[in-house]
Amino acid sequence: MLMERPELVGLLRSLATDMRQLSDGLLARIQPAPRAIELVRNPDDKPRLLLVGDSSRSLDSLKQMLGEDFELASTNHATHAVKLAREEPCDAVVTDLRMPGVDGLALLDLLRVSSMSPAPPLLVVADPHDARHRHPALERGVFDFLVRPLERAELVARLQSAVLHGQELQREHNLQLTDDLTGLLNRRALNVALREALQRSAEHGSPIALALVDQDGLKQINDRWGHAAGDKAIVAVARALSAVRRSTDVVVRQGGDEFAVLMPNTSIDGAHRMLERAEVELQQNPIEVAKGVMVRVRISFGISSCAASVTTGEALLAAADTALYAMKRQKAA
Protein backbone atom coordinates (compact mmCIF):
# COMPACT_ATOMS: atom_id res chain seq x y z
CA MET A 1 0.00 0.00 0.00
CA LEU A 2 1.13 3.59 -0.75
CA MET A 3 0.51 4.76 2.83
CA GLU A 4 2.75 1.99 4.18
CA ARG A 5 5.85 3.19 2.33
CA PRO A 6 8.16 4.53 5.10
CA GLU A 7 9.64 7.28 2.92
CA LEU A 8 6.18 8.85 2.60
CA VAL A 9 5.21 8.80 6.27
CA GLY A 10 7.43 11.73 7.25
CA LEU A 11 6.32 13.74 4.23
CA LEU A 12 2.63 13.20 4.99
CA ARG A 13 3.12 14.20 8.62
CA SER A 14 4.96 17.35 7.56
CA LEU A 15 2.19 18.22 5.10
CA ALA A 16 -0.44 17.73 7.81
CA THR A 17 1.45 20.08 10.13
CA ASP A 18 1.78 22.68 7.37
CA MET A 19 -1.96 22.46 6.62
CA ARG A 20 -2.84 23.02 10.29
CA GLN A 21 -0.56 26.07 10.41
CA LEU A 22 -2.07 27.39 7.18
CA SER A 23 -5.57 26.92 8.62
CA ASP A 24 -4.61 28.80 11.78
CA GLY A 25 -3.05 31.57 9.70
CA LEU A 26 -6.17 31.98 7.57
CA LEU A 27 -8.37 32.07 10.66
CA ALA A 28 -6.13 34.75 12.16
CA ARG A 29 -6.69 36.91 9.08
CA ILE A 30 -10.46 36.43 9.18
CA GLN A 31 -10.98 37.06 12.88
CA PRO A 32 -10.25 40.45 14.47
CA ALA A 33 -7.36 40.62 16.90
CA PRO A 34 -7.98 41.73 20.51
CA ARG A 35 -7.61 45.50 20.79
CA ALA A 36 -6.57 45.56 24.43
CA ILE A 37 -3.02 46.56 23.65
CA GLU A 38 -1.48 48.13 20.60
CA LEU A 39 2.27 48.13 21.15
CA VAL A 40 3.53 48.67 17.61
CA ARG A 41 2.48 51.20 15.01
CA ASN A 42 4.11 51.65 11.62
CA PRO A 43 5.62 55.15 11.74
CA ASP A 44 4.76 55.58 8.05
CA ASP A 45 1.04 55.14 8.69
CA LYS A 46 -1.11 58.24 8.73
CA PRO A 47 -2.46 59.13 12.19
CA ARG A 48 -6.02 57.88 12.71
CA LEU A 49 -8.75 60.36 13.54
CA LEU A 50 -12.33 59.79 14.60
CA LEU A 51 -14.68 62.57 13.52
CA VAL A 52 -17.95 63.00 15.39
CA GLY A 53 -20.40 65.57 14.02
CA ASP A 54 -24.02 66.57 14.47
CA SER A 55 -24.63 66.63 10.71
CA SER A 56 -23.32 65.26 7.42
CA ARG A 57 -22.43 68.81 6.43
CA SER A 58 -20.20 69.24 9.47
CA LEU A 59 -18.47 65.92 8.87
CA ASP A 60 -17.97 66.57 5.16
CA SER A 61 -16.29 69.88 5.93
CA LEU A 62 -13.84 68.21 8.32
CA LYS A 63 -13.13 65.39 5.88
CA GLN A 64 -12.22 67.87 3.15
CA MET A 65 -9.74 69.63 5.41
CA LEU A 66 -8.20 66.55 7.02
CA GLY A 67 -8.37 63.73 4.48
CA GLU A 68 -4.96 64.47 3.00
CA ASP A 69 -3.06 64.27 6.29
CA PHE A 70 -5.02 61.72 8.34
CA GLU A 71 -6.79 58.39 8.11
CA LEU A 72 -10.43 59.15 8.96
CA ALA A 73 -13.41 57.40 10.47
CA SER A 74 -16.64 59.28 11.17
CA THR A 75 -20.05 59.03 12.78
CA ASN A 76 -22.82 61.36 13.93
CA HIS A 77 -23.69 59.31 17.05
CA ALA A 78 -21.68 59.55 20.25
CA THR A 79 -22.42 55.96 21.33
CA HIS A 80 -21.30 54.69 17.94
CA ALA A 81 -18.17 56.80 18.30
CA VAL A 82 -17.29 54.98 21.52
CA LYS A 83 -17.76 51.61 19.78
CA LEU A 84 -15.55 52.71 16.88
CA ALA A 85 -12.87 54.00 19.23
CA ARG A 86 -12.82 50.67 21.08
CA GLU A 87 -12.73 48.46 17.98
CA GLU A 88 -10.43 50.64 15.85
CA PRO A 89 -8.24 52.70 18.22
CA CYS A 90 -7.58 56.22 17.00
CA ASP A 91 -4.92 58.83 17.73
CA ALA A 92 -7.37 61.69 18.35
CA VAL A 93 -11.08 62.52 18.26
CA VAL A 94 -12.62 65.66 16.77
CA THR A 95 -16.19 66.30 17.90
CA ASP A 96 -18.84 68.97 17.63
CA LEU A 97 -19.70 70.54 20.96
CA ARG A 98 -23.45 70.23 20.45
CA MET A 99 -24.95 66.91 19.35
CA PRO A 100 -28.30 65.21 19.93
CA GLY A 101 -28.43 63.29 23.19
CA VAL A 102 -24.76 63.33 24.20
CA ASP A 103 -22.68 66.47 23.74
CA GLY A 104 -18.97 66.60 22.96
CA LEU A 105 -17.93 66.92 26.61
CA ALA A 106 -20.00 63.91 27.66
CA LEU A 107 -18.32 61.97 24.85
CA LEU A 108 -14.99 62.56 26.58
CA ASP A 109 -16.33 60.86 29.72
CA LEU A 110 -17.65 57.92 27.68
CA LEU A 111 -14.28 57.44 25.98
CA ARG A 112 -12.49 57.48 29.33
CA VAL A 113 -14.59 54.67 30.80
CA SER A 114 -14.80 52.52 27.65
CA SER A 115 -11.26 51.12 27.90
CA MET A 116 -8.36 50.76 30.31
CA SER A 117 -6.11 52.39 27.72
CA PRO A 118 -5.71 56.18 27.82
CA ALA A 119 -8.59 57.93 26.09
CA PRO A 120 -7.48 59.57 22.82
CA PRO A 121 -7.08 63.36 22.95
CA LEU A 122 -10.39 65.11 22.25
CA LEU A 123 -10.67 68.31 20.26
CA VAL A 124 -14.00 70.12 20.45
CA VAL A 125 -15.32 72.27 17.61
CA ALA A 126 -17.91 74.91 18.55
CA ASP A 127 -19.88 77.70 16.93
CA PRO A 128 -18.92 81.29 17.91
CA HIS A 129 -21.86 81.70 20.31
CA ASP A 130 -20.56 78.67 22.29
CA ALA A 131 -17.05 80.08 22.76
CA ARG A 132 -17.87 80.70 26.43
CA HIS A 133 -17.59 76.93 26.99
CA ARG A 134 -13.87 76.95 26.18
CA HIS A 135 -12.52 77.24 29.74
CA PRO A 136 -14.92 74.70 31.32
CA ALA A 137 -14.10 72.27 28.51
CA LEU A 138 -10.34 72.63 28.98
CA GLU A 139 -10.70 72.24 32.75
CA ARG A 140 -12.66 69.04 32.16
CA GLY A 141 -9.80 67.53 30.19
CA VAL A 142 -10.49 68.44 26.56
CA PHE A 143 -7.16 68.71 24.73
CA ASP A 144 -8.18 71.68 22.57
CA PHE A 145 -11.22 73.85 21.88
CA LEU A 146 -11.67 75.36 18.40
CA VAL A 147 -14.22 77.93 17.27
CA ARG A 148 -15.59 78.10 13.74
CA PRO A 149 -14.72 79.16 11.13
CA LEU A 150 -11.83 76.68 11.03
CA GLU A 151 -8.62 77.38 9.16
CA ARG A 152 -7.09 74.22 7.66
CA ALA A 153 -3.41 74.83 8.47
CA GLU A 154 -4.17 75.69 12.10
CA LEU A 155 -6.51 72.73 12.50
CA VAL A 156 -3.93 70.30 11.10
CA ALA A 157 -1.19 71.73 13.32
CA ARG A 158 -3.33 71.46 16.45
CA LEU A 159 -4.29 67.90 15.56
CA GLN A 160 -0.70 66.89 14.97
CA SER A 161 0.15 68.21 18.43
CA ALA A 162 -2.75 66.23 19.89
CA VAL A 163 -1.65 63.06 18.08
CA LEU A 164 1.91 63.33 19.44
CA HIS A 165 0.55 63.86 22.95
CA GLY A 166 -1.76 60.86 22.68
CA GLN A 167 0.95 58.60 21.28
CA GLU A 168 3.29 59.53 24.12
CA LEU A 169 0.59 58.69 26.66
CA GLN A 170 0.02 55.37 24.88
CA ARG A 171 3.75 54.54 24.91
CA GLU A 172 3.91 55.20 28.65
CA HIS A 173 0.81 53.06 29.16
CA ASN A 174 2.29 50.24 27.08
CA LEU A 175 5.50 50.28 29.11
CA GLN A 176 3.41 49.64 32.21
CA LEU A 177 1.95 46.58 30.46
CA THR A 178 5.25 45.11 29.23
CA ASP A 179 7.58 42.61 30.88
CA ASP A 180 11.16 43.95 30.92
CA LEU A 181 12.97 40.62 30.47
CA THR A 182 10.99 39.07 27.61
CA GLY A 183 9.26 42.03 25.97
CA LEU A 184 5.95 40.20 26.32
CA LEU A 185 2.86 41.71 27.84
CA ASN A 186 2.48 41.34 31.60
CA ARG A 187 -0.21 40.18 34.03
CA ARG A 188 -1.97 43.55 34.02
CA ALA A 189 -2.27 43.39 30.23
CA LEU A 190 -3.75 39.89 30.47
CA ASN A 191 -6.55 41.19 32.68
CA VAL A 192 -7.40 43.82 30.06
CA ALA A 193 -7.25 41.33 27.19
CA LEU A 194 -9.38 38.79 29.06
CA ARG A 195 -12.07 41.34 29.76
CA GLU A 196 -12.28 42.45 26.14
CA ALA A 197 -12.08 38.91 24.71
CA LEU A 198 -14.88 37.73 26.99
CA GLN A 199 -17.01 40.68 25.95
CA ARG A 200 -16.52 39.82 22.26
CA SER A 201 -17.20 36.16 22.98
CA ALA A 202 -20.50 37.05 24.63
CA GLU A 203 -21.46 39.31 21.71
CA HIS A 204 -20.56 36.88 18.92
CA GLY A 205 -20.81 33.47 20.56
CA SER A 206 -17.18 32.67 19.67
CA PRO A 207 -14.97 30.33 21.74
CA ILE A 208 -11.98 31.38 23.85
CA ALA A 209 -9.13 29.18 25.03
CA LEU A 210 -6.71 30.16 27.79
CA ALA A 211 -3.46 28.31 28.45
CA LEU A 212 -1.25 28.66 31.50
CA VAL A 213 2.33 27.59 30.78
CA ASP A 214 4.98 26.71 33.37
CA GLN A 215 8.63 26.08 32.58
CA ASP A 216 9.92 22.78 33.90
CA GLY A 217 13.14 22.77 35.92
CA LEU A 218 13.93 26.48 36.17
CA LYS A 219 15.15 26.11 39.77
CA GLN A 220 17.60 23.39 38.74
CA ILE A 221 18.96 25.59 35.94
CA ASN A 222 19.35 28.53 38.34
CA ASP A 223 21.02 26.37 41.00
CA ARG A 224 23.45 24.69 38.61
CA TRP A 225 24.32 27.44 36.10
CA GLY A 226 23.13 30.68 37.71
CA HIS A 227 20.27 33.12 37.19
CA ALA A 228 21.65 34.41 33.89
CA ALA A 229 21.10 30.91 32.49
CA GLY A 230 17.64 30.87 34.08
CA ASP A 231 16.84 34.13 32.33
CA LYS A 232 17.89 32.57 29.03
CA ALA A 233 15.49 29.72 29.67
CA ILE A 234 12.62 32.12 30.42
CA VAL A 235 13.36 34.07 27.24
CA ALA A 236 13.45 30.81 25.28
CA VAL A 237 9.89 29.99 26.38
CA ALA A 238 8.76 33.51 25.48
CA ARG A 239 10.30 33.18 22.01
CA ALA A 240 8.76 29.76 21.43
CA LEU A 241 5.28 30.92 22.37
CA SER A 242 5.67 34.05 20.26
CA ALA A 243 6.93 32.02 17.29
CA VAL A 244 3.81 29.84 17.11
CA ARG A 245 1.14 32.38 18.11
CA ARG A 246 -1.39 33.76 15.66
CA SER A 247 -1.93 37.49 15.29
CA THR A 248 -5.11 37.10 17.37
CA ASP A 249 -3.36 35.47 20.33
CA VAL A 250 -2.11 37.35 23.39
CA VAL A 251 1.06 35.94 24.99
CA VAL A 252 1.82 37.13 28.51
CA ARG A 253 4.52 36.56 31.09
CA GLN A 254 2.70 36.17 34.38
CA GLY A 255 5.89 36.32 36.40
CA GLY A 256 8.83 34.02 37.14
CA ASP A 257 8.60 31.03 34.80
CA GLU A 258 4.82 31.34 34.34
CA PHE A 259 3.18 32.39 31.10
CA ALA A 260 -0.35 32.71 29.78
CA VAL A 261 -1.69 32.53 26.23
CA LEU A 262 -5.13 33.91 25.45
CA MET A 263 -6.53 32.47 22.19
CA PRO A 264 -9.79 33.98 20.91
CA ASN A 265 -11.82 31.96 18.41
CA THR A 266 -9.98 28.81 19.47
CA SER A 267 -11.12 25.43 20.77
CA ILE A 268 -9.25 23.40 23.36
CA ASP A 269 -7.98 21.13 20.57
CA GLY A 270 -6.67 24.15 18.67
CA ALA A 271 -4.96 25.41 21.81
CA HIS A 272 -3.33 22.00 22.35
CA ARG A 273 -1.92 22.11 18.83
CA MET A 274 -0.49 25.57 19.47
CA LEU A 275 1.25 24.44 22.67
CA GLU A 276 2.54 21.29 20.98
CA ARG A 277 4.13 23.47 18.30
CA ALA A 278 5.74 25.52 21.07
CA GLU A 279 7.19 22.33 22.57
CA VAL A 280 8.66 21.41 19.17
CA GLU A 281 10.10 24.92 18.87
CA LEU A 282 11.82 24.55 22.24
CA GLN A 283 13.23 21.13 21.38
CA GLN A 284 14.64 22.42 18.12
CA ASN A 285 16.29 25.44 19.78
CA PRO A 286 18.27 24.45 22.89
CA ILE A 287 19.91 27.20 24.92
CA GLU A 288 23.55 27.51 25.91
CA VAL A 289 23.65 27.67 29.72
CA ALA A 290 27.45 27.55 29.91
CA LYS A 291 30.23 27.42 27.35
CA GLY A 292 29.55 24.36 25.23
CA VAL A 293 26.67 23.22 27.46
CA MET A 294 23.30 23.11 25.68
CA VAL A 295 19.99 22.48 27.44
CA ARG A 296 16.56 21.85 25.96
CA VAL A 297 13.87 23.77 27.85
CA ARG A 298 10.62 21.97 28.60
CA ILE A 299 7.19 23.22 29.60
CA SER A 300 3.98 22.06 31.20
CA PHE A 301 0.63 23.62 30.41
CA GLY A 302 -3.04 23.61 31.29
CA ILE A 303 -5.87 24.80 29.06
CA SER A 304 -9.38 26.01 29.78
CA SER A 305 -12.15 27.35 27.57
CA CYS A 306 -15.42 29.24 27.85
CA ALA A 307 -18.32 27.05 28.90
CA ALA A 308 -21.56 27.42 30.82
CA SER A 309 -19.66 27.22 34.12
CA VAL A 310 -16.56 29.14 32.97
CA THR A 311 -17.60 32.60 31.82
CA THR A 312 -15.31 35.00 33.70
CA GLY A 313 -11.61 35.74 33.51
CA GLU A 314 -11.11 34.49 37.06
CA ALA A 315 -12.87 31.21 36.26
CA LEU A 316 -10.85 30.70 33.09
CA LEU A 317 -7.60 31.26 34.98
CA ALA A 318 -8.64 28.92 37.80
CA ALA A 319 -9.64 26.15 35.38
CA ALA A 320 -6.38 26.48 33.41
CA ASP A 321 -4.39 26.46 36.67
CA THR A 322 -6.10 23.23 37.75
CA ALA A 323 -5.29 21.62 34.39
CA LEU A 324 -1.66 22.83 34.59
CA TYR A 325 -1.04 21.28 37.99
CA ALA A 326 -2.72 18.07 36.88
CA MET A 327 -0.10 17.82 34.09
CA LYS A 328 2.74 18.61 36.51
CA ARG A 329 1.52 15.95 38.95
CA GLN A 330 1.33 13.45 36.10
CA LYS A 331 4.92 14.23 35.08
CA ALA A 332 6.11 13.86 38.68
CA ALA A 333 4.38 10.50 39.16
Tell whether 12 is covered by a domain: no
What was the pLDDT predicted at 113?
Answer: 75
The reported pLDDT for the residue numbered 83 is 86
Domain check: are 140 and 197 in the same one?
no
State pLDDT tens for residues 265-299: 999 999 999 999 999 999 999 999 999 999 999 99
The answer to whether residue 275 sits within a structural domain is yes
- Cis before 149 (ω within 30): yes
Question: Which domain-ending residue is among 176, 202, 230?
Answer: 176
Asked if the model's pLDDT at residue 259 lies above 60, the reply is yes
Same domain for 193 and 91: no
Task: Check whether residue 206 and residue 129 sit in a common domain.
Answer: no
pLDDT tens column, 64-81: 999 999 999 999 888 888
15 domain residue, yes or no: no
If you average pLDDT over residues 50-56, what whole number do you get? 90
279: CATH: 3.30.70.270
The reply to whether 311 and 195 lie within a common domain is yes
As a whole number, mean pLDDT of residues 311-326 equals: 92
- Tell me the per-residue pLDDT of 23-37, one tens digit each, with 9 for 90 and over: 333 333 323 333 334
128 assigned to some structural domain: yes
pLDDT above 50: residue 206? yes
Average pLDDT over residues 287-315: 89
CA distance 108 to 140: 9
Higher per-residue pLDDT: 69 or 308: 69
Range of the domain at 244: 187-332
Final residue of a structural domain among 176, 196, 223: 176
| Cβ(188)–Cβ(179) below 8 Å | no
In a domain, 28, yes or no: no
Mean pLDDT of 231-259: 94
The runs of H, that is alpha helices, within the chain are 6-30, 56-66, 78-87, 104-113, 134-140, 152-176, 187-204, 218-225, 227-244, 268-284, 313-332
The total number of structural domains in the chain stands at 2
Give the model's pLDDT for residue 37: 42
- Same domain? For 167 and 92 the reply is yes
Confidence of residue 188 (pLDDT cuts 50, 70, 90): confident
Other C-beta atoms closer than 10 Å to the C-beta of 224 total 14
pLDDT, mean of residues 242-264: 94
| Residues 317, 198 share a domain | yes
What span, in angstroms and rounded, lies between the C-alpha atoms of 16 and 20? 6
Q: Which pLDDT does position 114 carry in this prediction?
A: 65
Tell me which of 137, 157, 176 is where a domain ends.
176
CATH code of the domain containing 71: 3.40.50.2300
Q: Judge if 195 and 155 occupy the same domain.
A: no
pLDDT band at 115 (very low <50, low <70, confident <90, very high): low
Question: Which residue has better confidence, 73 or 22?
Answer: 73
For residue 68, the model assigns a pLDDT of: 94
Same domain, 210 and 283: yes
Q: Check residue 34 and give its pLDDT.
A: 35
State the DSSP H helix or E strand holding residue 300, giving kind and residue range, or none if neither: strand 298-305
Q: Say whether both 246 and 159 belong to one domain.
A: no
Shared domain for 113 and 86, answered yes or no, is yes
Query: Per the domain annotation, does 43 fall within a domain?
Result: no
Claim to verify: residue 294 and residue 206 sit in the same structural domain? yes
The answer to the question of residue 314 being in a domain is yes
Q: What is the dihedral of CA 26, 29, 31, 37, to 10 degrees?
A: 130
> Would 139 be classed as within a structural domain?
yes
C-alpha span between 295 and 298 (Å, rounded): 9
Quick check: 209 and 248 in contact, CB under 8 A? no
Q: What is the pLDDT of residue 118?
A: 84
80 in the same domain as 211: no
- Percentage of the chain lying above the pLDDT 70 cut: 85
Strand order in the sheet with 122-126: 71-75, 48-52, 92-96, 122-126, 144-147
Given pLDDT bands bounded at 50, 70 and 90, which one contains residue 107?
confident
Q: How far apart are CA 178 and CA 68, in angstroms?
A: 34
Computed on alpha carbons and rounded to an integer, the radius of gyration of the chain in Å comes to 25
